[in-house]
Amino acid sequence: MKKIFILTGEPSGDKLASSVISKLKILNNDIQYLCVGGKHLNSLGIKSIYELKEITYIAFTDVLLNIFKIRKKINQTVEKILEFKPDILFSVDSPDFTLRVAERVKKINPNIKTIHFIAPKVWAWREGRVKKMKKYLDHILLLFKFEKKYFDKENLLNTFVGHPLLDEEIKDNVKLDNIINDKKKYISLFAGSRESEIKIHAPILFEFINRFNSKESNFNFIFHSIDKYKDYLKNLLMKQNIHNAEVISDDKIKNAILKKSSFAVVKSGTVSLEVSKLNIPSIIIYRMNFINYFLAKLFLKIKFANMLNIINDKEIIPELIQNDCNSNEIFKSVYYLLKKPELIEKQLFEVKAAISDLKSSSSSSEEASKILLSNLT
C-alpha cells in the first residue's frame, strides 16, 4: 500500500490539506496516511502524531522564545516520518517549520518524494530561498499565477493549482432563526485565529462597537472564532458593556451568517479571501507588537497586507495596519463606506475580477490531488 505523510503547521494549513486529501481519497482510497494536523485532517480519519497547537507560533518573537521547543518538534517529526517510510511527504504552508522538516527528511532518505503546497512568499522577502528549496523539493504547488516566474528561474518544478478556498461550495440550507434577528443589520468581525492576535484585536474591536453603537442602533455584531478560542473570546466580551454582540465558531453557520452581513472587519490573512469570495464588503486590519512590526517593515518588500491588493498592486480593500488599526479609524472607515454604496459597489466589482484570476481550469484541490496521485505511480 502506498503511503503519504501530510505535514501542516497551523489550522489554515490543516484545512487546505484536508480539501486536497478529500479529493485524493475519491481518486484512490487505497492509500495509508499519517500526519501532523488538526481537526480537518482528523475528520478524514487521519491520525496526527501530536496536537497542532504544539507547533503553532505566530511571529518572529514567538519563534525566538520557543526556538528549543521547535527544534525538538522538528527532530521528533523527522524521526516519525522516517519511521513511517512514506512514498510522498506532502507539506502544506508554514514553511519555516514544514520545509525545515522536508529538507532533513530528503537528506536522510532521498527516495521520499517531497511535494509542497503553498509556496513560501519569496516575492515578499528572502527570494534567495528558492535556490535552497530546489535541493530538497521535487514539486511545489502554487496558489497564484504571478509566483511561477520565481520558481521557473531556478528550474524548480511547479504547478499553478489555484486557491482551495475558492473551490468550496457555499450551502444555503442552514437555518439561522435562533441566531439572528432579521430586523437588524449585521457586521461580522474577525479578530484572529490565534490567542496573541485576539488579545490585540479584540479590545480594539470592542471599542469600535461602542463607537458604532453611539451612532447607529440597528446593527448587531458577530465575532467569528475558531472552537479553540470561542470561550476565551466570549469571556472577554462578557467583561464589556456590550449587548448587541456575540461569538460563533460553528463552521456550518459561519458562511450563512457572513452572507447575511452588511459588512466585515477582517484580520489580515486567508480569512479575508473567504469574505471576498462571498461578496461581502470589508476592510482589513492588523496590529502586532512593536518588535514584530519593526522586523516586518525591515524585511518585507510588499506595499500591502491583503493578497488581492498585492496581486493588483493597489488598495482594492482598505487596510488599517499597525497604528492605523485603532477603534477610531475602523469606525470612520466602516461608517463612511456604509454611507457610500457606490464605493462598496466599486470594491465588490474589483474584488470579483481579482478572484476570478485566482482560479485554475478545474478546482485547485483536484489539480493538487492529481499531482499527488501521479507521484505514487
What single string gives the DSSP state of each residue in 235-261?
Answer: HHHHTS--SSEEEE--HHHHHHHHHH-
Q: Give the CA distances from residue 187 to residues 108, 181, 308, in Å, rounded to whole numbers and listed in that order.
A: 51, 13, 21
Beta bridge partners of 159: 141
- Identify the pLDDT of residue 377: 81
* Residue 148 and residue 203 in one domain: no
Do residues 67 and 202 share a domain?
no
Q: Is residue 225 part of a domain?
A: yes
Do the Cβ atoms of 17 and 41 come closer than 8 Å?
yes
> Are 336 and 189 within one domain?
yes
State phi, psi for 299 to the nearest 5 degrees: -100, -30
Q: Are 151 and 226 found together in one domain?
A: no
pTM of the complete model beyond 0.85: no
Angle at 312 between CA 311 and CA 316, to 5 degrees: 115
**CA atoms lying within 13 Å on the CB side of residue 84:** 27
Domain count along the chain: 2
175 within domain boundaries: no
What is 294-342 written as a DSSP string?
HHHHHH---S-SSHHHHHHTS-SS-EEEGGG-SHHHHHHHHHHHHT-HH
Whether 24 is covered by a domain: the verdict is yes
Q: Are residues 200 and 344 both part of a single domain?
A: yes
Q: Count CB atoms within 10 A of the CB of residue 147.
A: 19
Structural domain includes residue 174: no
In a domain, 177, yes or no: no
3-state helix, strand, coil in the chain (%, to 5): 50, 15, 35
| pLDDT value of residue 58 | 43
**Same domain, yes or no, for 134 and 277?**
no
Strand intervals (E) in the chain: 2-8, 31-36, 88-92, 113-117, 139-142, 158-160, 185-190, 219-224, 245-248, 263-267, 282-286, 319-321
**Beta strands 263-267 and 113-117: pairing type?**
unpaired
Same domain, 151 and 196: no
Co-location of 191 and 318 in the same domain? yes
Same domain flag for 43 and 140: yes
Residue 129 exposure: Cα atoms within 13 Å on the Cβ side: 15
Predicted local confidence at residue 18, as pLDDT: 94
Cell of 105: 527528511
Does residue 178 lie within any of the structural domains?
no
Integer Cα distance of 93 and 370 in angstroms: 19
Q: Are 92 and 11 in contact (CB under 8 A)?
A: no
CA distance 249 to 226: 5
Does one domain contain both 336 and 370? Answer: no
Contact 227, 205 (CB under 8 A): no
Residue 250, domain extent: 185-356
Assess whether 31 and 158 both reside in one domain.
yes
- Residue pair 365/19 in contact (Cβ under 8 Å)? The answer is yes
Chain centroid to CA 233 = 19
116/136 Cα distance (integer angstroms): 10
208 and 98 in a common domain: no
Residue 179 lies in a domain: no
Q: CB–CB of 93/8 below 8 Å?
A: yes
CATH number at residue 74: 3.40.50.2000
Q: What pLDDT sits at residue 255?
A: 86
Instruction: Give the three cell numbers for residue 181.
Output: 434577528
Mean pLDDT (10-residue bins), the chain, 377 residues? 96 90 95 96 97 68 63 93 98 92 97 95 76 96 91 95 77 66 89 92 98 95 94 95 93 88 94 92 92 66 82 93 97 97 97 86 90 94
Q: What is the pLDDT of residue 123?
A: 66
Asked, for residue 170, whether it belongs to a domain, the answer is no
